[in-house]
Chain A
């Protein structure tokens, strides 16, 4: 088992002429909750998709647990995408069966218990569920695994503050503490209190990778305040913020 969980060297991803990630170098260790922070279009989702193997790098190297992205790394990654990824004809229990078949770290009983605590009926068809309930099912699928690396892409975007707390609480009470959680978001104030480290991404480059304690100590401000300083948009001429 490698000490460093995520290793990127010169990682670059371009879409046509647009550069989404510009040669980033990054190392992330184990047993941490890491915020992948940046405005829209900064490359957060691109980095997560590269780690999952959903897109391929244009240049550079990427490894999880010392291995290149492939079936072995996918077996230890639990990924929450920013969209619904299941067929509507299925029921939640069908998905749990599928996960049990493919992931040895999936805890079926825990998934059922999580469903009940979240008010989801696992035998209901997904097509009869509301968008919010489907999101809960997807969250259950991800958090019922004892994964080494949780990749959560904007898990609290587009939901009200009460639901954000609820989602964060579900994540924090269910993740494998020996593993690492990488949460991408631009809603920093909501997750700052749970983060061990923060990675600031801007225009495909890492602006900062530091522990939250160090940020507070050296910068004398919260992660949210620092984020606002770094990413403050320049007003149009004559305009004011």
Chain B
């Protein structure tokens, strides 16, 4: 059933970002040919306008991702669409998991599009990249540190865990706000602030234990996995909390 839910959540995602993702790439491409990075600017005004347009698209993308995450959960499960979703023969955790996976993928793809847009925008001298010396230096670095791909994997996982925590914090905050009869949005914002403070306290406590330095001294690969694990714990709790509230205290008045 989760796969079936994902199918519809991903379709909603594509509908929401069908214009924004290509638009940011197109604006980057326009900038690429408008701004002569390696020459003095002939038309500074045009360059400024296009740069502003580009960063506006990126900013809009960040805002759109945030709105998408909030809206898909709030309107999709606690608004009018909730009348459809909560009457489907599925478990509550499947509804929340589907939204969560979709939000995670949306965030990652948006970041990838942003990086791609920047690569398009700033001219890369491929002749330098494909220069034998460059490859030689890269190969030397990789042979010195053959675990670089592992590091990249570890920190990518850590990054994903960070996004996961952000999304589950938003979900739990919205679910907590739903417990109140009135001022649900205000209570959700208050819950988000409270959860954020709680998260900071959690990190401070862990930091106080001097765990990270001790583990890094033992095995530098352990640190990213450890931090990922430590981020997954509150993410799991927040996810379970949001599911619990929606399961036992759902109140679509």
> What is A's interface to B at a CB cutoff of 8 Å?
15-16, 49, 52-56, 71-72, 74-75, 77, 79, 81, 83-87, 89, 94, 98, 101-103
Contacts and interface: CB of A to CB of B under 8 A. Distances in A.
A241 to B, nearest CB: 32
B145 interface: no
A198 B33 CA distance: 74
A54 B181 contact: no
- 8 tightest Cβ-Cβ pairs between the two chains A and B: A75-B89, A85-B83, A85-B84, A71-B89, A74-B89, A54-B252, A101-B4, A81-B83
B109 interface: no
Chain B interface size, as a band, is 20 to 34
B237 interface: no
B248 A72 contact: no
A102 B83 contact: no
Contacts of B12: 87, 89
A101 B7 contact: yes
B220 interface: no
Contact of A55 (B11, B89, B90, B250): B250
Interface in B72-91: 80-84, 86-91
A52 B252 CA distance: 11
A80 B248 CA distance: 23
A214 B9 CA distance: 50
Contacts of B125: none
Interface in B1-35: 1, 4, 7-8, 11-12, 15
A56 B87 CA distance: 13
A55 B251 contact: yes
B253 A15 contact: yes
Contact of B251 (A56, A75, A84): A56
A79 B86 CA distance: 11
B248 A56 contact: yes
Given A16-B181, A55-B250, A74 B88 contact: yes
